[in-house]
Amino acid sequence: MPRKFFALTCMALTGSVISLVSGCSNTSKQKCSVAQSAKKCNIATADLSIIPQPTAMATAREEFFILDASTKIKIDKSLYDGAKFFVNRVSNAGFTPAVVTSCTTVENNSVVFAVDNAIGEEGYILEVTPKNVVIKASTAKGAFYATQSLRQMLPVSMEKEVLNITAIKIPAVKIADEPRFKWRGMMLDSCRHFTEVSDIKKIIDLMAMYKMNTFHWHLTEDQGWRLAIDKYPLLTEKGAFRKDTLLTHNRTLGKKDAKWAGKSYGNFYSKEEAKDIVKYAAERFITVIPEIELPGHSVAAVHAYPWLSCEGKDKAVWTRWGISDDIYCAGKESTFKFLEDVLTETMDIFPSKIIHIGGDEAKKNKWKKCQLCQKRIKDNNLKDEHELQSYFIKRINKFVQSKGREIIGWDEILEGGLAEGAMVMSWRGTRGGIKAAKMGHNVVMTPGSHCYFDHYQSKNKANEPLAIGGFTNVAKVYQFNPTNGLNKEEAKFIQGGQANVWHEYIRDQKYREYMIFPRLLALSEAVWTPMEKKNYDDFKKRLEKHYKRFDTLGVNYRRHDKK
Ligand code: ACM
Ligand code: ZN
> How many angstroms separate the CA atoms of 112 and 103, rounded?
9
CB 55 within 8 A of CB 178: yes
CA–CA separation, 423 and 418 (whole Å): 9
- The answer, yes or no, to whether any atom of ligand 1 lies below 6 A from the CB of 410, is yes
pTM: 0.93
Nearest CA to ligand 1 atom 2: 427
* Mean pLDDT (whole number) for 473-488: 96
Question: Does residue 232 carry a pLDDT above 90?
Answer: yes
Average pLDDT estimate for 387-397? 97
Helix-helix angle 271-283:333-349, to 10 degrees: 50
Structural domain spans, the chain: 11-177, 183-236+265-553
pLDDT, average across residues 177-197:
98
Whether the per-residue pLDDT at 11 is higher than 50: the answer is no
* C-alpha pair distances (Å), 266 with each of 146, 242, 243, 262, 269: 40, 6, 9, 13, 11
Of ligand 1's atoms, which has the minimum distance to the CA of residue 410? 4
- Decide: 452 in ligand 1 pocket, CB within 6 A: no
Among all bound ligands, the one having the nearest atom to the CA of 310 is: 2
What per-residue confidence (pLDDT) applies to 371? 98
191-210 residue pLDDT tens? 999 999 999 999 999 999 99
Model confidence band, residue 44 (pLDDT cutoffs 50, 70, 90): very low
AA identity, residue 252: T
Contacts with 538 (C-beta within 8 Å, 6 or more apart), sequence order = 13, 53
Q: What are the distances in angstroms from CA 463 to CA 225, 247, 501, 559, 562?
A: 33, 17, 20, 14, 10
- CB count within 10 Å of CB 425 equals 29
Taking the C-alpha atoms of residue 120 and residue 210, their distance in angstroms, rounded to an integer, is: 18
Pairing of strands 124-128, 132-137: antiparallel
**What's the rounded mean pLDDT across residues 202-221?**
98
Q: What is the DSSP string of 493-521?
A: TEEEEEEEE--SS--SHHHHHHHHTTHHH
What's the CA-to-centroid distance between 387 and ligand 2, angstroms? 14
The secondary structure element, H or E, covering residue 340 is helix 333-349
**C-alpha–C-alpha distance, residues 316 and 553, integer Å:** 40
List, for residues 296-332, the tens digit of each pLDDT value: 999 999 999 999 999 999 999 999 999 999 999 999 9
Distance CA 125, CA 140 (A): 13
CB 439 within 8 A of CB 411: no
Q: How far apart are CA 448 and CA 500, in angstroms?
A: 8
Instruction: Say yes or no: CB of residue 427 within 6 Å of ligand 1.
Output: yes
* Span 115-153, pLDDT tens digits: 999 999 999 999 999 999 999 999 999 999 999 999 999
| pLDDT reading at 2 higher than 70 | no
What mean pLDDT do residues 229-239 have? 98
| Closest to 403 in 3D by CA, of 330, 348, 336 | 348
As beta bridge partners, residue 216 has 187, 289
Dist. CA 455 → ligand 1 center (Å): 13
Residue 309 has what DSSP assignment?
B
Q: How much distance in Å is there from the Cα of 243 to the middle of ligand 2?
A: 27
* Partners of 503 in the β-ladder: none
Phi, psi at 332, each rounded to 5°: -95, 135
Burial of 199-212, coded b for 16+ CB within 10 Å and e otherwise, reads bbbbbbebbbbbbb
Ligand 1: distance of its center to the CA of 493 in Å?
21
Burial of 325 (0-12, 13-18, 19+ CB in 10 A): middle
Mean pLDDT computed over 12-34: 33
Instruction: Please state the atom number of ligand 1 nearest to the C-alpha of residue 358.
Output: 4
Residues 82, 30: Cα–Cα separation, whole Å? 31
CB contact set of 78 (below 8 Å; sequence gap of 6+): 115, 139, 140
Q: Does the pLDDT value for residue 403 go beyond 50?
A: yes
Taking a C-beta distance cutoff of 8 angstroms, is the pair 212, 289 a contact? no
Cα–Cα distances (Å) from 453 to 185, 246, 420, 472, 473, in that order, read: 12, 20, 31, 7, 9
Q: Which pLDDT band, with edges at 50, 70 and 90, does 160 fall under?
A: confident
Nearest bound ligand to the CA of residue 358? 1
Q: Range with the lowest mean pLDDT among 77-81, 151-155, 267-271?
A: 151-155
pLDDT of residue 519: 98
Nearest ligand to the CA atom of 498: 1
CA of 426 to the centre of ligand 1 (A): 9
Q: Which of 53-67, 72-86, 187-201, 394-408 has the lowest mean pLDDT?
A: 53-67
**Rama region for 285: left / alpha / beta (φ>0; ψ in -120 to 50; rest):** left
Q: Which CATH architecture has domain 11-177?
A: 2-Layer Sandwich (3.30)
- 515: number of CA atoms within 13 Å, CB side? 30
Average pLDDT, the chain: 91
Helix or strand holding residue 302 (H, E): helix 299-304
C-alpha 276/C-alpha 69 separation (Å) is 34
- The confidence score (pLDDT) of residue 37 equals 31
By percentage, how much of the chain surpasses pLDDT 70? 91
- Decide whether any atom of ligand 1 lies within 6 Å of the 468 Cβ: no
- Top-level CATH class of 183-236+265-553? alpha beta
Q: CA angle at residue 530 from 524 to 535, to 5 degrees? A: 75
Higher local confidence (pLDDT), 127 or 90: 127
Task: Determine which of 166-170, 171-175, 325-329 has the lowest per-residue pLDDT on average.
Answer: 166-170
The Å distance, Cα 336 to ligand 2 centre, comes to 12
